[in-house]
A and B are shown apart, each in its own frame.
Chain A
Amino acid sequence: MQGHEWRRVWAIVWKDTLTERRTKAAFNAMAFFAGLVLLIFAFAIGPDVPVTGPAGQGLLEYIAPGLVWVAILLTGVLALGRSFQVEMENGALEGLRLYPGERRSIGIGKIIANVATLTAMEVLIVPIAGVLYSIDLWSKLPALAAVLFLATLGFAAVGTFYAALTANLRAREVMLPLLLFPVMVPVVLAAVKATFLILNGDLMGELSAWVRLLVVFDAVFVTVCTLAFGFAIEE
């Protein structure tokens, strides 16, 4: 991409993050929703379930990686849907289509902005999960942050593509997760496994394999979704 295309990418990132910062109500609602999801799991399973994992932990702590990713996915779908809801007001999506330049720069900008929004969400979700599920996060934070970033990148790439594809549909709130979740299975699987190994110990040295899988899927998803983005926003 040429220099002026990167200027377009930056314009999209700037506009989306500024808009998101100003509509705090949406972010607050999503953060509240994420907290609620984590809390419901905590209440439903409870800290005293007498099933223990290999490291002697309780059931809730044992399945915490899966629960955290469920919360991230459910909240993330809302955030991704919103990123194109903004473009539907005043016909802004058509305005985007009518700017000269490659449409993939719009896709890249949207993916970066969505990674930023999802990361901000995770900064809230993960510590809440740490408290509710009694997980020791601090000692494992760098590895956890790396896995969170890799999985978020793949999630944002596919999610941005499908959010653009469903933006004009009347049933977009239903269609987005229906299309997105099946495609996300490999990333979610790798993210949950990697998170589990980070939190519970990697006795068999499997972590690097799951991280490599995440990197491969990220590369495929980011490339394909960026190249195909122009078709997703076509009239």
Chain B
Amino acid sequence: MCPVATRPASVPAVQLEGVTKRFARNWALKSVSLTIPPGESVCLLGPNGSGKTTLLRIVATATRPTAGQALVFGYEAADDGDAVRSRIGLLSHRTFLYGELTARENLRFAAGMYGIPPGNARLDAALADVGLAPAADTRVRAFSQGMAQRLALARATLHAPPLLLLDEPYSGLDADALQLLDRYLGSFLARGGTMVLVTHQLAKGLTACRRAVALREGRVVFDGASADFRSSPEAALVGEWG
């Protein structure tokens, strides 16, 4: 799996400029500015309601910002949705899977929607990558949460996106699946991919990513190396989130 061709390395993978999002009277994000270069791994931290998922959804083109600009590899998320969507893989809270289809059929459908030629070899390789080869012909309705989560990851990366957006990817995974996910993400980063990860599991998030960005009440309160996060004043909030 190779990431699709991107713009020159000088173009940031993600660039947010004054991104603000309001839901009715609630401000989810307040003028967030952030630049993520290609190949970076960023862990988004923060208590519930701090705006992490909203930020991820804006980058993924799932929702539009109220104000400000979100660029993905130089493409405006709000206007160039197609160009952005072909360069991202989103693993959301929800799996986007069809329970009545088997694992292989779910990937075949995703391949069709991504415009990938429907070769069984590619689908089998994607299933093997997430440890689901033995369950390839099992309907997703019979899957455990962890299995569905792994299949959702295979679906999100089927088109080899250069940017991976992960929202709580560790939820529902057992120890073996956690190891598999770590290996998978490590291999993705080693190939030059960019990753933005939202998690409440601080230890996992800080280990998986080189950079940490903490949000509180819709504002960035920390942006630095993951290794520095624990010793920062903002780490006092850890007790509230953990």
In the complex the two chains form, what is the Cα distance from A235 to B61 in whole Å? 10
In the complex the two chains form, what is the Cα distance from A14 to B113 in whole Å? 11
User: Is there contact, CB below 8 Å, between A90 and B94?
Assistant: yes
**C-beta contact mask, A71-106 vs B, less than 8 Å → 1, else 0?**
000000000000000100111101111111110000
**C-beta contact mask, B85-117 vs A, less than 8 Å → 1, else 0?**
110001011111111110001001111111100
Q: Does A110 sit within 8 A of B, measured CB to CB?
A: no
Interface size, A (range): 20 to 34
User: Is there contact, CB below 8 Å, between B98 and A4?
Assistant: no
Task: For B96, give the chain A residue with the smallest CB separation.
Answer: A95
**C-beta contact mask, B148-182 vs A, less than 8 Å → 1, else 0?**
10000000000000000000000000000000000
- By DSSP majority rule, is chain A's interface helix, strand, loop, or mixed? helix
Across the interface, which residues of B come within 8 angstroms of A12, CB to CB? 113
**C-beta contact mask, A11-27 vs B, less than 8 Å → 1, else 0?**
11011001100110000
The answer to whether residues A99 and B113 also contact, given A15-B101, A19-B101 and a CB cut-off of 8 A, is yes
User: Is there contact, CB below 8 Å, between B98 and A101?
Assistant: no
The answer to whether residues A101 and B61 also contact, given A15-B101, A86-B98, A90-B94 and a CB cut-off of 8 A, is no
Interface size, B (range): 20 to 34
Smallest beta-carbon distance A39→chain B, Å: 30
Smallest beta-carbon distance A103→chain B, Å: 10
Q: Does A10 sit within 8 A of B, measured CB to CB?
A: yes
Q: Does B62 sit within 8 A of A, measured CB to CB?
A: yes
The answer to whether residues A8 and B113 also contact, given A98-B90, A100-B85 and a CB cut-off of 8 A, is yes
Q: Does B228 sit within 8 A of A, measured CB to CB?
A: no
Across the interface, which residues of B come within 8 angstroms of A97, CB to CB? 62
User: Is there contact, CB below 8 Å, between A90 and B95?
Assistant: yes
In the complex the two chains form, what is the Cα distance from A155 to B100 in whole Å? 26
Q: Does B79 sit within 8 A of A, measured CB to CB?
A: no
Smallest beta-carbon distance B157→chain A, Å: 13
User: Is there contact, CB below 8 Å, between A100 and B86?
Assistant: yes
In the complex the two chains form, what is the Cα distance from A86 to B98 in whole Å? 8
Residue among A10, A89, A94, A235 making CB contact with B98, cutoff 8 Å: A89
Q: Does A7 sit within 8 A of B, measured CB to CB?
A: yes
The answer to whether residues A92 and B98 also contact, given A15-B109, A98-B62, A98-B85 and a CB cut-off of 8 A, is yes
Residue among B97, B109, B115, B148 making CB contact with A101, cutoff 8 Å: B115
In the complex the two chains form, what is the Cα distance from A4 to B112 in whole Å? 8
In the complex the two chains form, what is the Cα distance from A27 to B83 in whole Å? 39
User: Is there contact, CB below 8 Å, between B97 and A92?
Assistant: yes
Task: For B113, give the chain A residue with the smallest CB separation.
Answer: A99
In the complex the two chains form, what is the Cα distance from A92 to B139 in whole Å? 16
User: Is there contact, CB below 8 Å, between A8 and B112?
Assistant: yes
Across the interface, which residues of A come within 8 angstroms of B63, CB to CB? 235
Q: Does B82 sit within 8 A of A, measured CB to CB?
A: yes
Smallest beta-carbon distance B90→chain A, Å: 6
Q: Across the A-B interface, give the 3 residue pairs with the lowest CB-CB distance, nearest first.
A: A11-B112, A95-B96, A91-B94
Interface residues of B (CB under 8 A from A): 60-63, 82-83, 85-86, 90, 92-101, 105, 108-115, 139, 148
Interface residues of A (CB under 8 A from B): 4, 7-8, 10-12, 14-15, 18-19, 22-23, 86, 89-92, 94-102, 235
